[in-house]
A and B are shown apart, each in its own frame.
Chain A
Amino acid sequence: MSTKQPIGLPTYFAVFAALLVLTGLTVWVAFQDFGVYNNVIALGIAVIKSTLVVLFFMHVIHSTPLTKLILVTAVFFFLILVAFVYADVWTRDMLNLPGRPPLIGG
């Protein structure tokens, strides 16, 4: 990073505190019953925490456009992996082929 770092100590302390608070929040949520939203909230908090780390601790908010492009590329290719695997697995039983055991189990 450049020696003229625009992120100051107050920002670092604030991000550190926010990460700890969000950790406490996600543990609290784990013991509540929000139905299917439990998973959504847990992953949502993880995404918020990782965004804070990437933007401020990893200085991406002030990085060069090329660094930002590389980061977006990584996320994009991971999402391709997830999307195509689920597209395969979730549509496998649609044809109702005889003799195939059910995919979903206990």
Chain B
Amino acid sequence: MSELLTGARIVAAHALRESLRRRVFFVVLGLTLAFGGLYAWGVHELFSDIDEFNGNGFLDAETLAGATILGLAMFGTLFLGVILAVFLTLNAVRGDAERGLLQPVIVRPLGRGAYLLGRWAAAAAVSASYVVVVFFGGVLLTKLFGGYTPDSVIVPALELAGAVAIISALALLGSIVLGTTANGVAVLMVFGAGLLVGLLGSIGDALDSGTLSDVANVASWVLPFEGLYRDALFQLVSGAVSEGGVTGALVQLGPLGGSHDNHALFPLFCVGYALVVGALALAAFRRRDL
């Protein structure tokens, strides 16, 4: 076990060093700052516009506006985190083997399991840290420029981190059987499909369509990053939802996927899901001739 972890640590450190040296982080930082600036401006404008709106006593405009724009920021954060996770893993096996980068490393004593674990750990650590930092930045900007504080911040941050960690595992599995471009396209399409199903689920909830809701719920288990995202949205507004009323009903619909609380065992399921994806990746990698 210690050999596995030592090998994984070496591979992860190498992958992180590569990201630093290739200035990936600088590009991401620059784009994120631009995103943050635009978001701050948007929050400021939004809350300026709703200042004079009193909701006639049945609508809490500040909660609705804050939850909506922070939910949108959460989608943006997840999307950027997924892009980062995918680009850090999409060529980990087949792509690197085709370029001749993998063979000198994989013939060393570390073993294929340690290589996969190292690549996943590096991608998951970077993308999870990224979404947590950007999410908290979004929460801070919403508070500073709009005065809105969500009902929960810790759990949504952890769920976003879990979502990108699962995407990293899926992209790593894809990298064993698919070429770089095909894998990138496939993982992003799976991610998009997950969000789309979540959106259908929220429409199903609004229209009281059991079929659409069921499809969304099944998708949450099949593609648990989507379930984590939906629950993260729910956690933002859980207090308003429990209070009910028009505000509670509107915020529950949520932006881009709708909010929905998960089963209590869902986090455990996500861990198991990632382990199964990892085991499948290892089995496929062990069978692969390089």
Asked if A pairs with B, the answer is no
